[in-house]
Structure 1
Amino acid sequence: MHYPSYSFRRSQNATQFFFESIGPQGSIQKVVVVTATGIDNVYNLGLGDFNSQTGVIDDLTISNNGDTAKILATVFRIVISYLDVHPAHLLILAGNTPSRNRLYRMAINQGFEELSQFFSLLGYQNDEWESFNSTHHYELFLIGKK
């Protein structure tokens, strides 16, 4: 991807990816976690702040570190990395608030031309999946490798 992003490291089993957000609030440890959903080959992708002292992941905090675009570009690089290792997996991405879902939709829309070269992108609304449409408000996003 051609967008600025942070470098990241992954856990040995490639289900946790760590990077640092750097901005006005200082250095904030972030983590992307991939967890099973109970549906074959479908996994949840979660993003949160990571407290390395307690091991707690907080996905409700608004870091306000002024680097949202860089964080989202990093998440998409992590998705590429994960799907390179697990090409048959599908990743579900959902914000825990409507504003975060809107943010994800805007990020996908902004980078859609490039993202669609790597990924199949679907959105979930009204109890059904459809090809991503930038004007629709989705509850969930599904990302798979092309």
Structure 2
Amino acid sequence: MAPGIYNLALLDFDLVTQDYVDDSITDNGDMPEVLATVMAVFLDHLSQFPRSGIIITGNRPSRTRLYQIAINKTGDDVKRQLKILGYQRSKWRIFEPNQSYESFLIARNLVD
């Protein structure tokens, strides 16, 4: 997206079309496990590339809201390691619970 900024895409593989899709709803009850895995991947990526950032945007408002709920549930120990911004009204802002955002930017909380 920009130097050091990556877009995260959560996709399903469609066995019929043999393609990856971002608009499926599997609703098979594994969302907590999927989001925990995604957070582990974030932390691994950011430990390897500490000056990078990852942008997350849902393909529709309900999916973005789901990502926000997952961010809200992130433990305090993980949140201390991260800088989380939300995109709202054409500006990046420090993430706050109970606000609505269009997308999110997650990076390491570096102290220089």
**Structure 2: runs of 5+ lacking an equivalent:** none
Indicate whether 1:94 and 2:57 are aligned.
yes
TM-score by length of 1: 0.69
Where does residue 81 of structure 2 map in the other structure?
118
Question: In 2, distance between residues paired with 1:43 and 1:134?
Answer: 23
The alpha-carbon deviation at position 139 of structure 1 amounts to 0.4
> Following the alignment from structure 2 to structure 1, what is the Cα–Cα distance between the partners of residues 60 and 6?
19
Gaps of 5+ in 1: 1-36
Contact 1:108 1:115 in 2 (8 A): no
- Letter of the 1:100 counterpart: R
Partner Cα separation in structure 1 for residue 16 and residue 37 of structure 2: 23
Q: Identity of paired residues, percent?
A: 38
Structure 1 residue 82 displacement after superposition: 1.2
Give the RMSD, CA atoms, in angstroms: 1.7
Confirm whether residue 62 of structure 1 aligns to residue 25 of structure 2: yes
Cα distance 1:112–1:95, how it changes in 2: closer, same or farther (>3 A)?
A: farther
Q: How many residues align?
A: 109
> More helix by proportion, 1 or 2?
2
Residue 75 (1) aligns with residue 32 (2): no
Give the TM-score taking structure 2 as reference length: 0.88
Indicate yes or no: 2:102 matched with 1:139. yes
